[in-house]
Amino acid sequence: MYDYFKGLITDKRKTSKGTFVTVETAGVGYLLEVPERDFANITVNETENRKFYVLLTHREDAMSLYGFLNKETRDIFQILLSVSGVGAKMAIALLNEFDACDVISLVIDGNFKELTRAKGVGPKLAQKIILELKDKLMKTELPRSSKTSIPQNPAIDDTQAVLLSLGYEEKEIEDAISKILPTIQDSSNSEEVLRKALTCLSM
């Protein structure tokens, strides 16, 4: 229903229920729950517009808006919600502890122990997240183009598959990887390739 809001931050507050900001756009103030990582980078400023990628969730008893400074964080939040047993509060807890790239890397690596650092995430749920999300993130097989000069290795293949599953186009993925490869010391490091590619795509 909504993709993003761009407006003035008129209020920010931290309560026992979470961290929130009010964004005013077109004369309407929208209350967004945001991850603590984003909350720390937000200031109330009556002259500067900020852009939030948003997701509206609907339960039987409430509708809630969640906002994120980066598109990839919103997309990972949405993917986390697809895991049975993971609600919005749990997904926010994971994004309070890890950035979007870290979540992807931990799932790809099967590192369930690290995921348990997030508040409320036990070993069983962490393993369930990995089982369900790894399949979602890795099921897209990227067709190799003879026109691309991108070298192929498991780290780059994994990065391309993850970015495709997040909704990025093949051409923009190839362009991003081509740009960041000269800056990468070890192109077999999945985490480094994915992190830099996401940063490039979000610019």
Q: What are phi and psi of 93, to 5 degrees?
A: -60, -40
What pLDDT shows up at residue 180? 86
- Do 77 and 64 have their domain in common? no
Inside any domain, residue 122: yes
Count of domains observed in the chain: 3
Inside any domain, residue 13: yes
- Do 22 and 45 have their domain in common? yes
Helix (H) or strand (E) holding 14: strand 4-15
- Do 79 and 132 have their domain in common? yes
- Do 60 and 114 have their domain in common? no
d(CA 169, CA 175): 10
Inside any domain, residue 145: no
What pLDDT shows up at residue 151? 65
List the domain range (segments joined by +) for residue 186: 154-202
Q: Please give the chain's pLDDT, 203 residues, in tens.
A: 789 999 999 999 999 999 999 999 999 999 999 999 999 988 887 678 899 999 999 877 788 999 999 888 998 999 999 998 899 999 999 999 998 888 888 887 888 999 999 999 999 999 999 999 887 766 533 233 334 456 667 888 888 889 988 888 887 888 888 888 878 878 788 888 898 899 888 87
Return the number of other C-beta atoms located less than 10 Å from residue 164's C-beta: 17
What pLDDT shows up at residue 6? 93
What CATH number is associated with residue 63?
2.40.50.140
pTM: 0.69
- Do 53 and 95 have their domain in common? no
Inside any domain, residue 147: no
Rg of the chain on CA atoms, in Å:
18
Inside any domain, residue 143: no
d(CA 159, CA 195): 9
Q: Output 74-83 pairs: Cβ under 8 A, ≥24 positions apart.
A: 75/100, 75/166, 75/167, 76/100, 76/103, 76/104, 76/166, 79/133, 79/136, 79/137, 79/166, 80/129, 80/133, 81/57, 82/132, 82/133, 82/136, 83/128, 83/129, 83/132, 83/133
Inside any domain, residue 149: no
What pLDDT shows up at residue 139? 54
- Do 123 and 76 have their domain in common? yes
Inside any domain, residue 40: yes
What pLDDT shows up at residue 41? 87
CA 175 to chain centre: 20
